[in-house]
């Protein structure tokens, strides 16, 4: 099997790894706001508060941050190798992925606020924000698989 681009036959392996790390990233993006909802329910400075800070920090360090870096590296490798830069579907996908990356950054910032004892958002708003990655992921999958334009 010969594939175009500098990745050649390794392109399928890179694509598989990209999808695997997207799954890890999405799991973290779904979990973190849910953690925040539960974290909001405990008193600031309590033992439970400290446990939630530790859980959120582990999720950030072990899953979220490494996954987003690997997803970007592998995704850019695929984009350059496949020559997708002139495709409309790719531009839309890239815009959504940039948005998800911003959402990741916002989650990390909110974690730091919780760590300082700040609770600027309501649990209801956090529950609504928990839906963002799912909606974006569904659109990205359609763009990448169907390539409607």
Residue 39 counted as an annotated binding residue: no
Q: 104 and 29 in contact (C-beta within 8 Å)? A: yes
Residue 37 has pLDDT above 70, yes or no: yes
Mean predicted lDDT score pLDDT of the chain: 95
What's the sign of the alpha-carbon dihedral 46, 105, 27, 135?
positive
Mean pLDDT, residues 68-76 taken together: 98
Give dist(CA 113, CA 119) in Å, integer: 7
CB-based contacts of 117: which residues, under 8 Å, 6+ apart? 44, 45
Question: How confident is residue 5, by pLDDT bands cut at 50, 70 and 90?
Answer: confident
Question: How confident is residue 122, by pLDDT bands cut at 50, 70 and 90?
Answer: very high
Question: How confident is residue 1, by pLDDT bands cut at 50, 70 and 90?
Answer: very low
Residue 120, φ and ψ in degrees, nearest 5: -70, -25
Residue 148 DSSP symbol: -
Mean pLDDT, residues 2-30 taken together: 92
Residue 40 counted as an annotated binding residue: no
Looking from the CA of 104 toward its CB, the CA atoms found within 13 Å total 26
pLDDT at 46: 98
Exposed/middle/buried for 74, CB within 10 Å: 0-12, 13-18, 19+? buried
């Amino acid at each position: 099997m010969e594939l175009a681009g500098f990745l050649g036959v390794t392109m399928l392996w890179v694509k598989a790894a990209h999808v695997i790390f997207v799954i890890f990233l999405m799991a973290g993006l779904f979990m973190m706001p849910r953690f925040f909802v539960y974290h909001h329910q405990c008193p600031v400075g309590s033992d439970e508060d400290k446990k939630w800070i530790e859980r959120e920090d582990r999720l950030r360090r072990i899953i979220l941050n490494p996954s987003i870096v690997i997803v970007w590296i592998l995704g850019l490798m695929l984009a350059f190798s496949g020559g997708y830069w002139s495709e409309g579907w790719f531009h839309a996908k890239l815009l959504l992925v940039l948005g998800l990356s911003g959402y990741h950054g916002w989650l990390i910032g909110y974690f730091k606020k919780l760590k300082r004892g700040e609770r600027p958002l309501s649990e209801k708003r956090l529950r609504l924000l928990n839906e963002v990655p799912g909606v974006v992921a569904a659109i990205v999958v359609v763009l990448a698989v169907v390539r409607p334009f």
